[in-house]
Amino acid sequence: MSPLEQVLDPGAGVAFEVSEGELLKIAQIDGKQAADMLSFNRGRPRERLSMWMSCCVNRLWKLTASHVLVSHEGNDMWTIVEDTLGENYSGGGYCRPALNARWHGAPDIPSCEANFLRALEPYGLGIDDFDGDTCFTPFMKVDYTPAGEWVIGESPAGGDDYLVMRACMDQIVAISNCPAMKTRTNAGSTKPLRVTVLSS
């Protein structure tokens, strides 16, 4: 039996621990749903995932199978071992009240930041322990146009798509099943995701 297998409700969040060598699988159920993920060194949570460092180390901004995700200190945190879609946003960031206020005039709508804060509270982690750089976003489609525009598209994920990553250290992980409804991210509706941790 796996250490964790959970269907994450639309717009919900969860936090849990993984051990070095375990596999984290994030899977679509209905398709077209983005997941936002933070992770922290379990023994020293001040060391956290960094998408800027991950892109620098891989010399790419679209990260997929065989690429590593690293901490802000440059240590390997994850290796992507399977990725059926190959569309993940690696530039950092997540929906939050301040951004929703500027984009939509609606600071009180559901956000990934609120999901993270609720999920991480039992681990003693709060708003000062992570930022946009800490967030990896599987299944999210973002493009940069020749004119320099940053364009969010609908997730192209189908119902059979999934991502599997191997933990390179013991970690605390938080996943938000992105509740965004006012951007194209989730194609107009939030949908469930399946999160599974498999023993090595």
pLDDT surpassing 80 at residue 200: no
- Taking the model in full, what pTM does it have? 0.95
Distances (CA, A) of 77 to 35, 120, 159, 175: 18, 18, 27, 15
pLDDT surpassing 90 at residue 22: yes
pLDDT tens by residue, 139-192: 999 998 999 999 999 999 999 999 999 999 999 999 999 999 889 999 999 999
- In this prediction, residue 1 carries a pLDDT of 41
pLDDT tens by residue, 190-199: 999 999 999 8
Contact between 72 and 50 (Cβ < 8 Å)? yes
Two structure tokens written together for 78: 């994850």
Two structure tokens written together for 145: 């146009």
Least confidently predicted of 1-5, 83-87, 116-120 = 1-5
- In this prediction, residue 2 carries a pLDDT of 53
- In this prediction, residue 173 carries a pLDDT of 98
Q: Domain extents for the chain?
A: 4-198
Report how far residue 126's alpha carbon sits from residue 190's, in angstroms, rounded to the nearest whole number.
25
The chain-wide mean pLDDT, for the chain, equals 96
- In this prediction, residue 3 carries a pLDDT of 77
Report how far residue 193's alpha carbon sits from residue 53's, in angstroms, rounded to the nearest whole number.
27
CA atoms lying within 13 Å on the CB side of residue 7: 6
